[in-house]
Homo-oligomer: A and B are copies of this chain.
Amino acid sequence: MANITKKVSWSSRADDSNATGEGTPLLNGSEQLGYSRQDSLKGRPKEITHNEKLLSLKYESLDYDNSENQLFLEEERRMSYLGFRCLEISRWVVCGLIGFLTGLIACFIDIMVEQLTGLKYYVVKENIEKFTAGGGLSISLILWAVLNSAFVMVGAIIVAFFEPIAGGSGIPQIKCYLNGVKIPRVVRLKTLLVKVAGVICSVAGGLVVGKEGPMIHSGAVVAAGVSQGRSTSLKRDFKIFEYFRRDTEKRDFVSAGAAAGVSAAFGAPVGGVLFSLEEAASYWNQMLTWRIFFASMISTFTLNFFLSVYNKNPGELSNPGLINFGSFDRNSSSEYNLYEIPLFIGMGAIGGLLGALFNALNYWLTIFRIRYIHRPCLQVMEAMLVAAVTATVSFIMIYFSNACQPLDVVQGEDYPLQLYCDDGEYNSMATTFFNRPEKSVQNLFHNPPGSYHPLTLGVFTITYFFLACWTYGLAVSAGVFIPSLLIGAAWGRLIGIMLPTLSSTNSTGQIWADPGKYALIGAAAQLGGIVRMTLSLTVILIEATGNVTYGLPLMLVLMTAKIVGDYFEEGLYDIHIKLQSVPFVHSEAPPTSHWLTAREVMSSPVTSFNRVERVGTIVDLLSNTSTNHNGFPVVVSNANGEEPAKLCGLILRSQLIVLLKHKVFVELARSKLTRRKLQLKDFRDAYPRFPPIQSIHVSQDERECMMDLTEFMNPTPYTVPQETSLPRVYKLFRALGLRHLVVVDDSNRVVGLVTRKDLARYHLGKHGLEELQLAQT
């Protein structure tokens, strides 16, 4: 958080509409803080934190701009060309490791899920078959529901009680991290463990979830861990990769980890790279992208290789990802005709509409959850309830469906359920439920025409839609990709089946013959309508289908879904980011923001330090909880001291804290000549968990000492003049991944500071440019 004293305001209620308009804030300075404390005593803090009209100040930013102070420059200058080469090689090694470990984790999750669900389906199927003839199927239902709830309970307990940040898919959190927002605990080892265990439990528990989203989070955590060469949680320091212990480098590796996660999840290494770029990269760096790609490749290869060993076909690399769409051959059914494209676009629009509906429902559900279900035990109970309901609904649907299909050995249904079908037939409704969802998606894409009854698909779509919507946001680790694909594939296939009956001419019956194609388009439309990713999702789907011919239709469908969906409601991830009031800086300034200049946007007045500053002043300022600034311009005053001081550098809270901890005072340096000079290593050792200012004890004598900041401040912070337009400020800020941008007047005197919140505040609402309020929580 930075030097915002003027604009911090506080709105106590979501419906406090006159406070959310554009313009000046309600209160400022110390008054506002008094108010906020009183207000929070009234017991409504929960609503406030999650108001999408507010921007929370509790999130700090990451320093993606290197602080090029003297220490840093000295180190860089000492380093030989060979040293840089070694660094480069170790970056590659780290990326390889990230890919390998991410692939292993994906493999582990996949195998565990397969074993557990296999066991579960076997038990339930045996039970059902036992009771089918003699009656008493309600016992089977209870068995099924209890099994599911038990799994989910374990998953929910570890998430709700031990690591709430591990809940959900983790994609919004990783998006925020890569955007430059420090989400607490998001890349810790504990989060990873809970995430992996949690996702196994929730998938095994039969929830309407996927294991793909969590892979992205897992990859990111692996990357953040491996690249640092130590574990703060385990208190082990391997004394390697010390150079990488800063936000800039760590972010690069986390991008690679996220890409490796996508790659392992979908077998889409290129899609993974593009995902990372879409979410993260402000500054295109060729070598970095190349390394990210390497991590992705290794990840999908590792997964593929170990799964092939597990499947007893070592070397047959046919499982590049957790989900495979199966082979869409180039020759046979994969063609599409020019006149089908409008149809695809229409399906894209349906996907956009359904996606917006999904998101709107989930938005209200999330608001409800925030208000009423915020205690961990309630969260666990809700998750168990959903698990039981899912089992019950599935059971009822299977029970009342009479969609029998002849049992085809070639198709290889893993758990065909006969139920009330004739011998040699199986219940096709049961197939969609009695399967890992990935397998169901594949079946919808590839089963020959006639495998599904239209009514089965219709009922399945509706049920699954609401179950998925209810499930997303539960306190379990789970992704939304697979449910979306499944819903979309179901209604897409339904459309594919209905088309021949709708078209009057029977001669064209041949070309409508493949409903699997429509299932694919429907899946893309539904997924695009919910998550609204564009470029990366297209590439992921192209890679997952393994067929570039479908590129154009997929792209058109995803575009349509996004345009239609955006008209009604934002993307699911953006909704959740907004509900957390995260100051997210988008890639471009809102189009109509040329009216604003740095002068209006910046926070002022700014708290600055002198180049040589009294320790007491520094400690007092850092301890001031009402401001809680993180970056301080360093200024040098003129001889007479009357003119405002000129900017000569920028120093961070974290740097000051390390300086205070090591007592780098001018007076002490004089007295102890042998004293070790502070090195960059001392800053790296403290990274990333810098101690709070309260833990540092400064005696009354020491308060009178002076600190010389010259060596430690960044002497060349980026600056802009006051008249700079907001888009220009935005571009500079975003392209360089800045945290603090100093606004100066025409004599280089500090007049303000632009930080993440100052930019994230502005967004394009229904009525033109709107300004969000800033809140302390």
Contact = CB atoms under 8 A, between A and B. Distances in A.
Interface string A260-292: 000000011110011001100111111101100
Given A269-B548, A287-B588, A748-B744, A725 B716 contact: yes
Contacts of A267: 548
A534 B77 CA distance: 29
B289 A535 contact: yes
A229 interface: no
Contacts of A304: 549
Given A81-B764, A335-B315, A549-B320, A293 B587 contact: no
Interface string A54-74: 000000000000101000010
Contact of A335 (B316, B719, B721): B316
A294 interface: yes
A318 interface: yes
A40 interface: no
A723 B732 contact: no
Given A548-B543, A719-B719, A724-B716, A318 B330 contact: yes
Contacts of A331: 318, 327
A592 interface: yes
A261 B277 CA distance: 23
Interface stretch (A209-217, A220-228, A295-303, A682-690): A295-303
Contacts of A327: 330-331
A469 interface: no
Interface in A648-672: 648
Nearest to A269: B551
Given A281-B284, A764-B81, A555 B338 contact: no
B715 A723 contact: yes
Contacts of A747: 646, 747-748
Given A731-B283, A736-B731, A535 B290 contact: yes
A394 interface: no
Interface string A727-741: 010011001100000
Interface in A293-332: 293-294, 297-298, 300-301, 304-305, 315-318, 320, 327, 330-331
A301 B550 CA distance: 10
A595 interface: yes
Contacts of A636: 746
A561 B267 CA distance: 25
Interface string A513-544: 00000000000000000000011001100110
A546 B715 CA distance: 51
Contacts of A66: 728
Contacts of A268: 548
A196 B335 CA distance: 31
Interface in A587-611: 587-588, 591-592, 594-595
A76 interface: yes
A333 interface: no
Given A293-B535, A293-B555, A327-B330, A720 B725 contact: no
Given A283-B282, A555-B297, A723-B716, A76 B594 contact: yes
Contacts of A285: 587-588
A415 interface: no
Contacts of A595: 77
A283 B286 contact: no
Contacts of A551: 269-270, 297, 300-301
A301 B553 CA distance: 10
Contacts of A115: none
A80 B592 contact: yes
Contacts of A731: 283, 736
B552 A587 contact: no
A547 interface: yes
A284 B287 contact: no
A84 interface: yes
A336, A543, A748: residue with the most chain B Cβ atoms closer than 10 Å: A748
A718 interface: yes
A740 to B, nearest CB: 15
A551 to B, nearest CB: 6
Given A538-B293, A592-B84, A587 B286 contact: yes
Contacts of A297: 551-552, 555
A320 B548 CA distance: 8
Given A267-B548, A548-B320, A728-B716, A84 B591 contact: yes
A768 interface: yes
A768 B267 CA distance: 41
Given A315-B335, A316-B335, A546 B330 contact: yes
Interface in A73-100: 73, 76-77, 79-81, 84
A315 B334 CA distance: 11
Contact of A594 (B77, B305, B555): B77
Contacts of A715: 721, 723
A411 interface: no
A337 interface: yes
Contacts of A289: 277-278, 535
B76 A305 contact: no
A573 B305 CA distance: 37
A446 to B, nearest CB: 14
A284 B536 CA distance: 14
- Tell me which of A68, A338, A735 has the highest count of chain B C-beta atoms within 10 A of its own C-beta: A735
Nearest to A305: B338
Nearest to A767: B81
A398 B289 CA distance: 46
A735 B284 CA distance: 8
Nearest to A546: B548
A732 B718 contact: yes
Contacts of A286: 278, 534-535, 587-588
A320 B551 CA distance: 11
Given A283-B731, A300-B551, A316-B335, 8 more contacts: A80-B592, A281-B284, A282-B283, A285-B587, A318-B330, A716-B721, A716-B723, A716-B724
13 contacts: A77-B595, A273-B535, A282-B284, A282-B735, A283-B735, A286-B535, A294-B555, A300-B551, A315-B338, A317-B336, A320-B548, A546-B548, A716-B725
Q: Which are the 10 A-B pairs with shortest beta-carbon distances? A: A84-B591, A76-B594, A716-B724, A735-B735, A748-B748, A297-B552, A301-B552, A286-B587, A281-B284, A283-B735
